[in-house]
Chains A and B, each alone.
Chain A
Amino acid sequence: MYLERNSKSLLILTGLLVLAMLATVVGCQSTPTPQIPGPAPTSTLTVGQPAPTAEPTEETEFESTPDPTPTPAPDGTQITEAGSTTVQPLAEKLAEAFSAQHPDVEITVQGGGSSVGVKSAGEGTVDVGAASREIKESELQEFPDLQIFTIARDGIAIVAHPDVPVDGLTKELVKDIFAGEITNWNEVGGPDKLIVVVSREEGSGTRAAFEEMVMGKEGPPIVDTAILQPSNGAVRTTVSTTPDSIAFLSFGYLDESVKTLTIDGVEPTEANAASGDYPIVRPLNLLTNGEPTGVVEAWLDFILSAEGQAIVVEEGYIAVK
């Protein structure tokens, strides 16, 4: 008796579950093939430390991705990459383009930060590590076989809230502002308003590069009353909505919601960065443990070729050739 009364609700629930499952099946099958002719993009976006095992993840073909037309590829079909989150979107695009030409090569792109990139590459946990800064001496000592490939240059712009009337600063002034020595906009030609400093958190490669180039290796740390945000996008949102704010931001993230400041009179454009006029430029490095071989070498060659560099420019970075 009691079962009959409950069975109706059970039926409804089961019906809903079945519907949900049908929906996901339908959803799986309508994953469209992307714009690039060829199979679905094979790059993954993973934020976090890379899996501590060196084994590549199993790729059992489930549904969605259609069978790729095989093209003879060099040895091995897997490349794992991890490290800087700044390099991540660029690496994804490069992976996509490479896989379009070599469909059975799968490149997994992850995040984790520049330090993680150096360490994973050095330890061999991943095939390629990414760092958005120079490699430190200590890191080179720890991993003497590390090979560094600079695949692009990235400018770091100093941005402010759009209503800030100051148009430009010198590198020294920027350093003093971020160190907390200068606290009011009126000290640099602006109105009487307290400067709100926004920064990335400590492990960020973008921050490390900024600190090295602007604050100086032995220089003062960034003031501890700065608002810290965990990503470039969050920094941009914060600056665009917080009056009197100032921050550093990678070129790739610049848009109309923030105001860029000239440094020593130079505009933060790709052209100026490429020519060397703009002073705050950092390398985007890919690292391997020892000389790269096989498919990894092929990918790196592709990245450093004209085609790869064209993608670099497209994404808003500066080519190295």
Chain B
Amino acid sequence: MRKANLTFHALRECNKAMQTRYAVDRFVKYLLLLSALVSIFVVFLIGLFTLREGWVAFREIGLRALLTGRVWRPGRDEFGLLAMIAGSVLVTIGAMLLGVPLALGCAVFLAEVAPPGVRAIVRPAVELLAGIPSVVYGLFGMVVLVPLVRCIPVPGNTGYGLLSASIVLAVMILPTITNIAEDAIRAVPRAYREGALALGATRWQTIVSVTLPAARSGIVAAIILGVGRALGETMAMIMVIGNSVIVPRPLNDNPLTIFLSQARTLTGNIAVEINYATGLHESAIFATGAVLFVLIMIVNSAAHILIQGKAK
């Protein structure tokens, strides 16, 4: 009888300990869920505050006037973001035109072509590019790139403008795209490559017709991330792009010279004026932030749909 009693007590103790552990387990689970929800909470707060501060501008100026107005003169209460939207979009396009081939080339190089010794140098170099502060890029652009771009003999070319900004931006987004694209390319199963090579294709043919298509979703994701980064860059932009509130247009008959035009980005608009803005002006700055936020959300969602669609 005593033995049974002891066992019973032991079991009860054990049971209590177990119950505490399970209770702790459940408590922790919900605690962790809470921390996971912090991020969506922050997103919500950001949206809330940006809209709240920008609401006055939206109400007073009107969404259409804000988005399509060509004139931004806070001194006369004129707030139009068209020039900034055009500037942001164009500089991103420029950065993509320059940066995507370069970055993908680097990614393929690192994943397929580079011997291990060279890879050990180039890969850290690309990672290091990501670590350089944007201020440094901006200064380098201002003092080195702008005079170089100015050498292009087109009248009206001051060096400051979309081209200089696109070059700087391309270098800044290179590590982002290269990193993810390289991972995607490496993830392609060896069997794919070996199959193509067995059929008599050269390594390059394999890369172009087998490996890259197989890594497509990762590469697209990398590019989309690059676009987001380009749209969001601020400090480097305000130092090389000129900040003139004009809708960029070609400087002569050659349409390519649109890239020699000065411009202002949405991000630059915020950074350059936030220190001086009061009242309606300040609200317009927040409205700029809201427009930027929405633009990036659109790009991200489009990317999501694209990738998910391809996955199916």
**Pairwise interchain contact B276-A203, C-beta atoms closer than 8 A:** yes
Residues of A within 8 A of B74 (CB): 202-203
**Pairwise interchain contact B158-A111, C-beta atoms closer than 8 A:** no
**Pairwise interchain contact B150-A242, C-beta atoms closer than 8 A:** yes
Kindly state the separation between the CA atoms of A28 and B18 in the bound complex, as whole angstroms: 51
Q: Offer 20 A-B interface pairs, CB within 8 angstroms, sorted by A.
A: A111-B275, A112-B275, A201-B243, A201-B276, A202-B74, A202-B75, A202-B276, A203-B275, A203-B276, A203-B277, A224-B244, A224-B246, A225-B244, A226-B244, A227-B242, A227-B262, A228-B244, A228-B245, A230-B272, A241-B147
A272 contacts chain B at the CB level, 8 A cutoff: no
Kindly state the separation between the CA atoms of A224 and B160 in the bound complex, as whole angstroms: 14
Given contacts A202-B273, A241-B143, 4 further A-B contacts (CB under 8 A): A113-B275, A229-B243, A230-B238, A242-B150
Q: Which residues of B does A touch, CB under 8 Å?
A: 73-75, 142-143, 146-147, 150, 155-156, 158-160, 238-239, 242-246, 262, 264, 271-278, 281
Residues of A within 8 A of B278 (CB): 49, 115-116, 119
Residues of B within 8 A of A234 (CB): 239
**Pairwise interchain contact B242-A201, C-beta atoms closer than 8 A:** no
Kindly state the separation between the CA atoms of A116 and B143 in the bound complex, as whole angstroms: 32
Among B262, B276, B277, residue most surrounded by chain A Cβ atoms (within 10 Å)? B276
Instruction: Kindly report which residue of chain B lies nearest to residue A223, judged by CB atoms.
Output: B244
Q: Which residues of A does B touch, CB under 8 Å?
A: 47-49, 111-113, 115-116, 119, 194, 196, 201-204, 208, 221, 224-230, 234, 237-238, 241-243, 245
Residues of B within 8 A of A221 (CB): 73
Residues of A within 8 A of B274 (CB): 48
Quick one: given A113-B276, A119-B278, A203-B275, are A194 and B73 in contact (CB under 8 Å)? no
Shortest distance from the beta carbon of B262 to any chain A beta carbon, whole Å = 6
Shortest distance from the beta carbon of B272 to any chain A beta carbon, whole Å = 5
Kindly state the separation between the CA atoms of A47 and B272 in the bound complex, as whole angstroms: 12
**Pairwise interchain contact B155-A228, C-beta atoms closer than 8 A:** no
**Pairwise interchain contact B146-A225, C-beta atoms closer than 8 A:** no
Kindly state the separation between the CA atoms of A245 and B146 in the bound complex, as whole angstroms: 14
**Pairwise interchain contact B275-A194, C-beta atoms closer than 8 A:** no
**Pairwise interchain contact B73-A228, C-beta atoms closer than 8 A:** no
Residue among B73, B147, B243 making CB contact with A227, cutoff 8 Å: B243
Residues of A within 8 A of B242 (CB): 227-228
**Pairwise interchain contact B158-A201, C-beta atoms closer than 8 A:** no
Kindly state the separation between the CA atoms of A234 and B141 in the bound complex, as whole angstroms: 13
Instruction: Kindly report which residue of chain A lies nearest to residue B261, judged by CB atoms.
Output: A225
Shortest distance from the beta carbon of B311 to any chain A beta carbon, whole Å = 35
Shortest distance from the beta carbon of B234 to any chain A beta carbon, whole Å = 12
Residues of B within 8 A of A194 (CB): 155-156
Kindly state the separation between the CA atoms of A134 and B4 in the bound complex, as whole angstroms: 97
Shortest distance from the beta carbon of B159 to any chain A beta carbon, whole Å = 7
Shortest distance from the beta carbon of B5 to any chain A beta carbon, whole Å = 41
Instruction: Kindly report which residue of chain B lies nearest to residue A237, judged by CB atoms.
Output: B142
Shortest distance from the beta carbon of B190 to any chain A beta carbon, whole Å = 29
**Pairwise interchain contact A49-B275, C-beta atoms closer than 8 A:** yes
Residues of B within 8 A of A202 (CB): 73-75, 273, 276
Shortest distance from the beta carbon of A83 to any chain B beta carbon, whole Å = 11
Kindly state the separation between the CA atoms of A225 and B155 in the bound complex, as whole angstroms: 14
